[in-house]
Amino acid sequence: MPAGPAAFALAALGLLALAPAAPRAQPLGADSALQEALEEADKNNWPAVLGKAGASLALRDSYEGRVLRARAYFHHAYDGESGFPRAAADARAALKLRPGDPVALHYLALSLGKQRKFPEAVEAAGQAVKAAPADASAWFLLAGLREAAGRTEDGLEALAAAARLDAKFGPALDAARRGERISVDFDGPPAAGPPAAPPRSGPRDVHPYLLLGIGFTVAAAVLLALGRERKRLW
């Protein structure tokens, strides 16, 4: 084959090889499983949340996955009381990834309260209030836990703060001042749930024909140069 046509053929092959490949189908990844867990949490389908969040965490540890699984363990109380220690463990793991996070602290305090570990629960709830001082539900949880720990006056103080932030806690404050117990809804979620995980793009695969395309292109350039040299000589 003459040098000119051969060079053009090689150049064409090189361009085809260098063209971007169609994206290949990927197996269900950590982010996909996490997104499905978030959707199931919106439906209060806690068994499904536990499975999906667990699948995501098996692939990659994340704050969102830890908080979602803590919520699932807490709300569904798997295996009886053992669900609460598991919820606390996931909340602590979430706090290592995002220190001082009020949502993780909320579920840590709730789970510790369910285990009647009131001093630790009060500490976690106090940290949640410091992290989100405008969250009335955080103050209300702190009030109930303080009362459970035998700190009634401190509980009233926290309840008054909750009532100042949100009028719906006013009746609870009035009742507590009459000597009634502060009734904390331990199943109530915090004011703001964990944010949805942003999609992460993994490392792009190097196309298997990239080097071949480069080779074709270089070969084409060499053949074109040889063809021009032959014409000059003849």
Please tell me what DSSP assigns to residue 116.
T
pTM: 0.67
pLDDT at 30: 79
C-alpha–C-alpha distance, residues 217 and 79, integer Å: 64
224: exposed, middle or buried (Cβ count in 10 Å: 0-12, 13-18, 19+): middle
C-alpha–C-alpha distance, residues 216 and 119, integer Å: 72
Residue 91 contacts residue 111 (beta carbons within 8 Å): yes
Any idea which fold 100-193 has?
1.25.40
Most confident of 31-35, 47-51, 126-130, 221-225: 126-130
Residue 129 contacts residue 138 (beta carbons within 8 Å): yes
Residue 55's CB: how many other CB atoms inside 10 A?
A: 18
Q: What is the pLDDT of residues 131-177, one digit of tens each?
A: 999 999 999 999 999 999 999 999 999 999 999 999 999 999 999 99
54 pLDDT band (50/70/90 cuts)?
A: very high
Domain locations in the chain as residue ranges: 30-88, 100-193
pLDDT at 183: 72
Distances (CA, A) of 86 to 73, 74, 81: 7, 8, 9
Residue 188 contacts residue 137 (beta carbons within 8 Å): yes
58 pLDDT band (50/70/90 cuts)?
A: very high
Residue 54 contacts residue 30 (beta carbons within 8 Å): no
Residue 216's CB: how many other CB atoms inside 10 A?
A: 21
Q: Identify the residue with better confidence: 60 or 197.
A: 60
C-alpha–C-alpha distance, residues 166 and 131, integer Å: 18
